[in-house]
């Protein structure tokens, strides 16, 4: 077995052709292999490339768990890889959590292919290990799984979802007792336990009836749904928004065939939003996502049907959530039949402004408040928060890091959490959940739109006013997919090259390079750096290097003059490399020119891959 760098900064074991062939034969002749998996393997008997893709490695258990294409093989999502991950989790829980067996593990699932089956398989494996499994008996959004872990005092949680990925994907996310996704140190420890399990076909799993009879498999009913929506209403509704304002707002909402329909509709209706139109063609859960090429609200095409409906009913606001309802995409009416899509950075910035302004007006803005965002998220909202004297904290990419900081502050009382957000359309208003929450997001966005409509304004008007107050910002994400073992090697080589040769952007002066793998910021122009002055360092004594206080991660961030920046990292869940571009200027036009120059620089880098 060959080795190459893995997704968590560890080692990815890549099998030899002989090892892949042996595994393929073992799976093919496995007597208990489901028919569909056996047929899939029989169909590729003369296709070495297809065999390699399924068996060249084990599906990696990264910081969020598993995610991959459904199918046969060790590099696929199937009942056997789910059982192995669950058995490893059980081993870790029993070794590190004395009360894990009694407290149990909550398991939720979305509408994707095999989600219900995977959830039940995970429950049966936990039951065989003597650990209680609390499994939803119906679809639930990811944030409700996080809420349920906390509500039941469980030792852990499992969510079966692939978020916004295409239909052929599914995934398995693990949550800690605080309701947040596990962090890299725990993921690494669970991975070590998983790797001790070599025979995927010998993992014990109690039959459902026996597990139920022993009280090791219990079902979560609709009472949890009501408790969750009630908690969202109590936490998110704003006292400054009147019932009449809510009643007058016209909303179009689409769950994009996912889990959001029931909780989002319920939250909006109970809050007083009487004019909510659901996109009927996308109302029912369907893991094939038949009416959209992408169930990802980050993609403009995801809201196409919703925009058609919005024009018919003259809606003020359009909202769509992804399949597991943890992300929200929106569009705002700007004129008769005209709508403008907002980015996650813009929506996050607006929500920061709105929520803090509501607290300020009510006299409830705490002196120790904190807004938390990821380090590849726009400074738009952060800049407004700082002007109010509110602390802003950056984390690594991934909402799990935001959730971890909320938990840390909850324990120490040092800070009061006010809002968390990331550029990829994830928002969190209240710590009742420790992951991004599409239900909270939809209700908060509706509250903001309703308050603005009372003043004769839209979210677009508010966005422009915010730009004029704190400066103009523009961001862009560029992704390149490089699948297979060869793709992983190309990503590794590219990151190594970028560490030794910084990206050159025409017209921008590089000030510093932040390497989150070595946890070091290296100043290229320390004597001229406005960032150094902002940090309070004397210009003449500014060090050429300084530490970064994060967990190690394979990320590079380039800081340019004028508050412009560019970051690059491999995806933690997909075979992609991602470039994040951030511009700041005195106008939209200046930001667009800067982003264009960054885009050209990234294109040159990718042309060499």
Residue 460 makes CB contacts below 8 A (sequence gap 6+) with 332, 334, 340, 342
Provide CB contacts within 8 A for 532, sequence distance 6+.
523, 526, 539, 542
3-state secondary structure of 320: strand
* Cα–Cα distances in angstroms (integers) from residue 9 to residues 62, 407, 518, 551, in the given order: 10, 25, 11, 11
Gap between the Cα atoms of 133 and 211, Å rounded: 9
3-state secondary structure labels for all residues of 531-572: HHHHCCCCHHHCCCEEECCCCCCCCEEEEEHHHCEEEEEECC
Catalytic residue among 4, 115, 146, 163: 163
158 and 175 in contact (C-beta within 8 Å)? yes
Terminal CA-CA length for the chain: 26
Task: Describe the crossing of helices 344-362 and 380-387 by its angle, rounded to 10 degrees.
Answer: 20
Query: Hey, what are 256's tokens?
Result: 């994009």
The contacts of residue 40 (CB under 8 Å, 6+ apart) are: 71, 72
377 close to 385: Cβ distance less than 8 angstroms:
no
Q: Any residues with CB less than 8 A from the CB of 1 and at least 6 apart, and which? A: 13, 14, 15, 16, 19
Structure tokens at 606: 């990718």
The C-alpha torsion from 307 through 313 and 314 to 318, rounded to 10°, is: -40
408: CB partners within 8 A, 6+ apart? none
Count of positions (residues) in the chain: 609
Across the strands, what pairs with 57?
Answer: none
Angle subtended by helix axes 344-362 and 438-454, to nearest 10 = 70
Q: How many CA atoms lie within 13 A of 507 on its CB side?
A: 13
Q: What's 502's DSSP letter?
A: P
Active site residue 146: no
520-523 and 545-547 as β-strands: parallel, antiparallel, unpaired? antiparallel
Tracing tokens 């009472």 back to the chain, one arrives at 223
* Residues acting as catalytic residues: 163
């Amino acid at each position: 077995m060959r080795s190459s760098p893995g997704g968590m900064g560890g080692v990815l074991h890549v099998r030899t052709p002989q090892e892949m062939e042996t595994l393929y034969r073992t799976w093919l002749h496995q007597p208990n292999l489901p028919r569909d998996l056996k047929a899939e393997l029989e169909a590729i008997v003369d296709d070495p490339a297809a065999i390699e893709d399924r068996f060249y490695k084990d599906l990696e258990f990264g910081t969020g768990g598993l995610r991959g294409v459904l199918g046969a093989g060790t590099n696929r999502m199937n009942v056997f890889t789910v059982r192995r991950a669950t058995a490893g989790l059980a081993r870790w829980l029993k070794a590190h959590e004395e009360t894990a067996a009694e407290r149990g593990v909550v398991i939720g699932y979305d509408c994707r292919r095999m989600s219900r089956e995977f959830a039940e398989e995970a429950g049966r494996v936990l039951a065989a290990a003597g650990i209680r499994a609390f499994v939803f008996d119906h679809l639930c959004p990811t944030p409700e799984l996080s809420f349920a872990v906390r509500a039941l005092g469980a030792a852990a949680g499992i969510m079966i979802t692939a978020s916004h990925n295409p239909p052929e994907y599914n995934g398995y996310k693990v949550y800690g007792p605080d309701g947040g996704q596990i962090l890299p140190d725990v993921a690494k420890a669970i991975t070590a336990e998983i790797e001790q399990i070599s025979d995927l076909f010998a993992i014990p799993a109690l039959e459902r009836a026996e597990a139920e009879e022993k009280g090791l498999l219990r079902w979560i009913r609709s009472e949890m749904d009501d408790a969750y929506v009630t908690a969202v209403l109590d936490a998110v509704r704003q006292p400054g928004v009147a019932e009449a304002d809510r009643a007058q707002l016209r909303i179009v909402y689409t769950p994009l065939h996912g889990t959001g329909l029931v909780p989002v509709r319920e939250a909006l209706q109970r809050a007083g939003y009487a004019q909510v139109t659901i996109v009927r063609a996308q109302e029912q859960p369907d893991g094939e996502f038949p009416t959209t090429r992408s169930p990802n609200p980050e993609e403009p095409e995801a809201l196409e049907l919703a925009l058609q409906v919005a024009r018919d009913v003259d809606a003020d606001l359009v909202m769509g959530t992804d399949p597991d309802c943890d992300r929200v995409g929106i569009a705002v009416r700007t004129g008769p039949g005209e709508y403008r899509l907002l980015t996650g950075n813009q929506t996050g910035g607006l929500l920061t402004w709105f929520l803090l302004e509501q607290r300020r007006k009510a006299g409830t803005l705490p002196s120790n408040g904190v807004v938390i965002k990821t380090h590849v998220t726009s400074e738009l909202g952060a800049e407004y928060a700082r002007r109010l004297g509110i602390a802003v904290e950056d984390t690594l990419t991934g909402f799990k890091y935001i959730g971890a900081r909320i938990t840390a502050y909850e324990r120490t009382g040092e800070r009061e959490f006010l809002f968390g957000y990331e550029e990829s359309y994830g928002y969190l208003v209240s710590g009742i959940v420790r992951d991004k929450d599409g239900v909270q997001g939809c209700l908060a966005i509706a509250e903001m739109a309703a308050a603005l409509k009372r003043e004769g304004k839209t979210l677009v008007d508010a966005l422009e006013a915010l730009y004029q107050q704190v400066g103009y910002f523009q961001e862009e994400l560029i992704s390149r997919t490089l699948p297979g073992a060869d793709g992983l090697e190309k990503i590794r080589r590219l990151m190594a090259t970028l560490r030794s040769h910084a990206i050159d952007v025409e017209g921008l002066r590089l000030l510093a390079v932040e390497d989150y793998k070595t946890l070091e910021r290296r100043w290229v122009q320390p004597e001229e750096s406005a960032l150094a002055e902002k940090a309070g360092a004397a210009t003449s004594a500014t060090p050429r290097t300084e530490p970064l206080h994060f967990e190690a991660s394979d990320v590079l961030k380039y800081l340019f003059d004028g508050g412009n920046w560019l970051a690059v990292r491999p995806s933690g869940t997909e075979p992609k490399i991602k470039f994040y571009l951030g511009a700041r200027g005195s106008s939209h036009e200046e930001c667009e020119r800067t982003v264009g120059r960054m885009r050209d620089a990234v294109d040159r880098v990718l042309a060499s891959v």
